[in-house]
Amino acid sequence: MGRRRLGLILSLMLAACAAGGASAQELAPRVPVLRDALEPPKFEDPAVKAPEPDVKVSPNTNMPQVGQPGDFAVIPLVQHAMLSNGQIDPRYVANSQFPDDLGIWERTRNSYGDQGIRVLQDARRFYLSENMLYVGGAVLVAAPIANSHADQGIRDWYQRQAGQGKNRDVDEWAKVGKWFGEHKYTIPIYCAMSLSGHLFPDSPVLATAGDFGDRTLRAMIIGAPMVGVLQYGLGSQRPFANDSRWHPFEGRWGASGHTFIGALPFLTAASMVESRPLKALLIAGSMWTGWSRVHNDDHYFSQVFLGWSIAYLATEAVNHTDFGSSRLRVIPMTFPNGAGMGIQIDY
């Protein structure tokens, strides 16, 4: 009897546990499987199609335009770029009305700024190089001529043979030669040529004229102080005083200023041409103004020689800045029995 009761109790307990497990499964929520979440939805009906994305194309770049996202607060940078490919920045439209080329004022300012730097290089070449030795050599060559009867003898001989009043045509040529040494006329002309070259750099003729004006003015700027030092430092007199000797700081004609100014354009032009015959002709023309001063009895030969020498050395300093060292040089030379000029050729 006891065993029957024990078996009945165990049977009832097992049945209660089974009933409780079935009800727990029914009450618990169903957890989706990860595989089910990753699988795309299936459309069993073939008549139903998946919705196509709404993508527009930019009329300017033919690139797709992405619409504004709906639920995102942060817009990616790529989205910004795609949204802007069909737009035009109004600042670009405003700036496109102005060309990038420099104006006349900017172009002229930059050009003369470059010329100012070149003048400093010219001055360094003229005053801080072996050129000062050449200036000293020219003074040594002129010294025995001026401080002896040589200067007066050359003047007297020329005036007797072909001086002023002997030939009218020669006198007219001397007047023209003197005009090249008048700084009050020539400097404005060189300035106008220089300015025209900077204002119209696309014109070959005006650009060449501008280069000529710039180089002539630069040589004048660096050579004029030395001419002034020699004029007043040597203290020589004009021929009508019948005294060519040097009296430091007692006169102001130690070097011919007209010869210096008149030689510069010819020497500058000679440095710009390639033809050797034309170059030689221009170098000879650089002595035109100096000859006119001797012809008109306004300067002694030694004074003309010093003025031309400074013009030549100033032009060479400008040439060195623009082209580098020159292969041909005219240098003063001294000999046991006198002095003269020599030609130095670098090869």
Q: Please list, in sequence order, all residues whose beta carbon lies within 8 angstroms of the beta carbon of residue 325, skipping any fewer than 6 positions away.
A: 346
CA distances from 176 to 70, 239, 296, 310 (A): 91, 21, 12, 22
- pLDDT value for 88: 63
Q: In terms of Cα–Cα distance, which of 286, 245, 67 is closest to 149? A: 245
Q: Please list, in sequence order, all residues whose beta carbon lies within 8 angstroms of the beta carbon of residue 315, skipping any fewer than 6 positions away.
A: 215, 219, 264, 267, 268, 271
pLDDT beneath 70, residues of the chain: 1-76, 78-105, 325-347
- pLDDT value for 166: 85
Q: In terms of Cα–Cα distance, which of 329, 210, 207 is closest to 267? A: 329
- pLDDT value for 68: 47
Only one residue has tokens 């130095």, namely: 344
Structure tokens at 173: 């040529």
Strands, E assignment, 200-337: 328-335
User: pLDDT > 90: what percent of the chain?
Assistant: 51
Read off the pLDDT of residues 65-90 as tens digits, 9 standing for 90 and up.
555 444 445 666 766 666 666 566 66
Read off the pLDDT of residues 304-326 as tens digits, 9 standing for 90 and up.
999 999 999 999 999 999 887 55
- pTM of the model as a whole: 0.66
CA 303 to CA 253: how far, in whole Å?
7
